Chain A
């Protein structure tokens, strides 16, 4: 239920992301999704990859500051109002979302969520029958 996301600290410099993509590509690691949180001088690149352990290792070898962060990936019907409903459930449970991002795959959408209370978030989403993706399912998307 819990997915390892890679978070990489990057300075806002030309070619930094290119290099990360190249390193992962050469290691045979596939990216499923990514997002960047940034300000004027640095960014935090957040990646869902096919093999987070190996990804972390190769990036560390290249001296990147990488951390593995636990997130949940929720499958959300690709239709109006479905996200709002899920968000309502999380909020009402008193769980705060540090950040989230989404991507669509086929007919469904996947929302990656970083809550402040991971266990509770999983629990309420499960209780409300919202589908959480396991790592094996996610990387097949």
Chain B
């Protein structure tokens, strides 16, 4: 099923025309209402008048995650704060989060694109949709919530955690669609088997999983264990949240809602645009948002775009699976973690040496997150309680910045490998591609 046939099945020519009009309007809007953007454009010697055709987009400077941090919290808003009705945030590369403001109109766009996702998954007004993404600053919970309400479904806002109750409600209330991270879905799958309720008593048919990378192997496992159809939902907080793109019943790429979020693929090194089909860094310009539109935002995600019409009837561009990242960001249990954040915290703890190692793995379908640290020789204590206290402190300080708690391991002096060139600080053992 298709939620918005006009937009999702538009001819390529019409879509380009629409994108052109919307891009021009957005460029005018940010130029006149957002000082950092105006300055940046003036520095690049480009004015809104220079953006006449879609191709002219390459004249615009890029926006990076660093810009969002530099102009934290409200610097990149293009409307007065009185127009902002909601704030979401994701973790940034250092202690400060990245903050995104939404106008009422932006929230409308968000639920619209979310509705396209859920409709593509075969969900509708007769379905109970259980939102087991975390509710809060994280866009997962409220994003999926808005989408489910928009299609007229019955929302069950369980948020994440409290697994037993999740299963009970899923059983008793007849949940048809489950929205959560794929790793939590796997956890729920095991809990469902353990619950003793026969599978026939559940109405569950569809999973909308996203916010972290997952593999075809995980999809297969989820579909077998839960006996559902599992779909990917794509999104980034900076752009809007979940709903930027979605799979359809063909599951042959992720359709992007390109009438709202204009995608480009560029060479991650040079920033030069790459032809369709070639792999490179995904860049988005939001072309309908009012509150905090971003022009040419570099996602650091590596993928390619396919402009061929899809067998499902949609003509919207499809991106391939995200094949990796061109920076060192890790996504652990749905949370963005930068090694630089870990480093900043550890360097602030006087008892530690500036050597550490981050080890990420997936055990029983849940991400594990370990940080090995070397204690300065002066601070190794003879007392177990003191060593355990130190370890606990380090874990808490990391959690307060990262929002997730790592397993901290104290290791012997000099046992973390010293490297000559670029230190190998991260070991990601998860097989995701």
- The residues of A with any CB-CB pair to B shorter than 8 Å are 5, 7, 9-11, 37, 39, 41-42, 44, 46, 63-67, 69, 98-99, 114
Contact = CB atoms under 8 A, between A and B. Distances in A.
B388 A39 contact: yes
B388 A9 contact: no
A44 B384 contact: yes
Contact of B384 (A11, A37, A63): A37
Contacts of A5: 382
B372 to A, nearest CB: 10
B383 A63 contact: no
A99 B383 contact: yes
Contacts of B381: 7, 44, 67
A11 B412 contact: yes
Nearest to B408: A41
Contact of B380 (A39, A46, A67): A67
A5 to B, nearest CB: 8
B384 A65 contact: no
B412 A65 contact: yes
Contact of B415 (A7, A11, A67, A114): A11
Given A11-B415, A63-B414, A41 B409 contact: yes
Contacts of B377: 65
- CB-based closest 4 A-B pairs: A7-B382, A65-B380, A69-B382, A37-B384
Contact of A98 (B383, B410, B415): B383
Contacts of A42: 387, 409-411
A29 to B, nearest CB: 19
A7 B381 CA distance: 8
A9 B383 contact: no
23 contacts: A7-B382, A9-B375, A9-B380, A9-B387, A10-B412, A11-B411, A39-B388, A42-B409, A42-B410, A44-B382, A44-B383, A44-B384, A44-B387, A46-B382, A63-B412, A63-B413, A65-B377, A65-B380, A65-B412, A65-B413, A66-B380, A67-B380, A98-B383
A42 B391 CA distance: 11
Give the size range of B's interface with the partner: 10 to 19
A31 to B, nearest CB: 17
A39 B388 CA distance: 9
Contacts of A44: 381-384, 387
A127 to B, nearest CB: 27
Nearest to B411: A11
Nearest to B412: A11
A10 B383 CA distance: 13
A60 to B, nearest CB: 8
Interface of B: 375, 377, 380-384, 387-388, 409-415
B384 A9 contact: no
A10 B411 CA distance: 8
A65 B382 contact: no
A11 B375 CA distance: 12
A7 B386 CA distance: 13
B371 to A, nearest CB: 13
Nearest to B407: A41
**Most A C-beta atoms less than 10 A away, residue of B375, B383, B414:** B383
Nearest to A5: B382
A37 B380 CA distance: 14
A67 B388 contact: no
B410 to A, nearest CB: 6
A66 B413 CA distance: 10
B382 A114 contact: yes
Nearest to B374: A65
Given A9-B380, A114-B382, A65 B375 contact: yes
B387 A64 contact: no
Contacts of B415: 11
Contacts of B384: 37, 39, 44, 99
Contacts of B410: 9, 41-42
A114 B384 CA distance: 13
Contacts of A66: 380
B220 to A, nearest CB: 34
Given A44-B381, A65-B375, 10 more contacts: A7-B380, A11-B412, A41-B409, A41-B410, A42-B410, A63-B413, A65-B412, A65-B413, A99-B383, A114-B382
Contacts of A41: 409-410
A69 B382 CA distance: 7
Given A39-B388, A44-B387, A67 B382 contact: yes
A114 B383 CA distance: 10
**Most B C-beta atoms less than 10 A away, residue of A5, A44, A99:** A44
A114 B381 CA distance: 13
Contacts of B409: 41-42
**Most A C-beta atoms less than 10 A away, residue of B388, B412, B414:** B412
B383 A64 contact: no
Contacts of A9: 375, 380, 387, 410, 412-413
